């Protein structure tokens, strides 16, 4: 529509016109479906851990996988964030330091305690490395995956075993764009029970 004709419309009519135009453009360009994430089997992940170049690298990979963490979350974990008695890790996410509690499966807890008894932890942080270094650790073992593949694999494996989608979403710390009801939080004890059934 020409500008002069558009100016002849009332404010309400102009608003309706632009809304219709927006709708037409949206229909012309349908959204592409989201690409499914790359995942690997539980057996593959265990084999990957066995190939780690150092005990530190192995613990990092296990922490990302067994707790479904983002790389940034794993690198920010400190000794104080781990409750060894309850087998729980406190995870801090991004802006606002949103917190969630994630159960630590028995295989990881055993390796974590053994590693920490030998490792000299600097400034209370488990890993004194940069994000890119974490990516390189994974790439050197298998160039076809990245750290987030382990997180996707965790979610797929846990859901496959439990069929508890709400629980998986809570474990991953996902936020909802729709209603929050489908992302209802489960208790720490329920999460521990779910993970124990999967990995132990």
| Radius of gyration, CA atoms only, the chain | 23
User: In the annotation, is 183 catalytic?
Assistant: yes
Q: Measured between alpha carbons, how far is 191 from 13 in angstroms, rounded to an integer?
A: 53
User: In the annotation, is 148 catalytic?
Assistant: yes
Residues sharing a CB contact under 8 Å with residue 122, sequence separation 6 or more, in sequence order: 128
Which spans in 30-187 are helix H? 42-50, 55-67, 71-75, 106-116, 131-141, 147-162, 165-172
User: In the annotation, is 143 catalytic?
Assistant: no
Question: Is 111 within 8 Å of 62 (Cβ atoms)?
Answer: yes
Q: Measured between alpha carbons, how far is 169 from 171 in angstroms, rounded to an integer?
A: 5
Per-residue pLDDT reduced to its tens digit, 117-160:
887 666 688 898 999 999 999 999 999 999 999 988 888 788 77
Per-residue pLDDT reduced to its tens digit, 93-112:
755 568 889 999 999 999 99
% the chain with pLDDT above 70: 70
Q: From the candidates 2, 32, 95, 143, which is the catalytic residue? A: 95
Domains of the chain: 1-31 (no CATH), 42-199 (1.10.443.10)
Q: From the candidates 15, 98, 174, 196, which is the catalytic residue? A: 174
CA atoms within 13 A on the CB side of 103: 23
Q: Measured between alpha carbons, how far is 75 from 60 in angstroms, rounded to an integer?
A: 8
Helix (H, G, I), strand (E, B) or coil at 133: helix
Mean confidence (pLDDT) of the chain = 79
Q: Measured between alpha carbons, how far is 172 from 98 in angstroms, rounded to an integer?
A: 12
Q: From the candidates 14, 42, 56, 70, which is the catalytic residue? A: 70
For tokens 């859901």, the residue is 159
Strand partners for 78 = 125
Q: From the candidates 148, 161, 185, 193, which is the catalytic residue? A: 148
Q: From the candidates 58, 151, 152, 192, which is the catalytic residue? A: 151
Per-residue pLDDT reduced to its tens digit, 44-88:
999 999 999 999 999 999 999 999 999 999 999 999 999 999 999
User: In the annotation, is 151 catalytic?
Assistant: yes
Max intra-chain CA distance, the chain: 78
């Amino acid at each position: 529509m020409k500008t002069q004709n558009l100016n002849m419309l009332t404010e309400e009519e102009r608003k309706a016109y632009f809304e219709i135009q927006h709708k037409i453009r949206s229909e012309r360009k349908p959204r592409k479906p989201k690409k499914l994430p790359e995942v690997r089997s539980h057996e593959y992940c265990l084999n990957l851990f066995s190939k780690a170049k150092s005990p530190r690298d192995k613990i990092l990979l296990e922490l990302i996988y067994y707790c479904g963490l983002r790389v940034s979350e794993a690198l920010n974990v400190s000794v104080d964030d781990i409750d060894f008695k309850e087998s729980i890790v406190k995870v801090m996410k991004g802006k606002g330091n949103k917190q969630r509690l994630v159960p630590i499966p028995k295989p990881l807890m055993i390796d974590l305690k053994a590693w920490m008894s030998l490792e000299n932890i600097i400034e209370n942080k488990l890993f004194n490395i940069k994000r890119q270094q974490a990516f390189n650790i994974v790439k050197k073992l298998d160039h076809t995956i990245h750290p987030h593949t382990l997180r996707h694999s965790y979610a797929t494996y846990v859901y496959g075993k439990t069929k508890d989608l709400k629980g998986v979403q809570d474990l991953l710390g996902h936020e909802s764009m729709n209603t929050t009801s489908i992302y209802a939080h489960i208790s720490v004890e329920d999460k521990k029970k779910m993970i124990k059934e999967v990995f132990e």
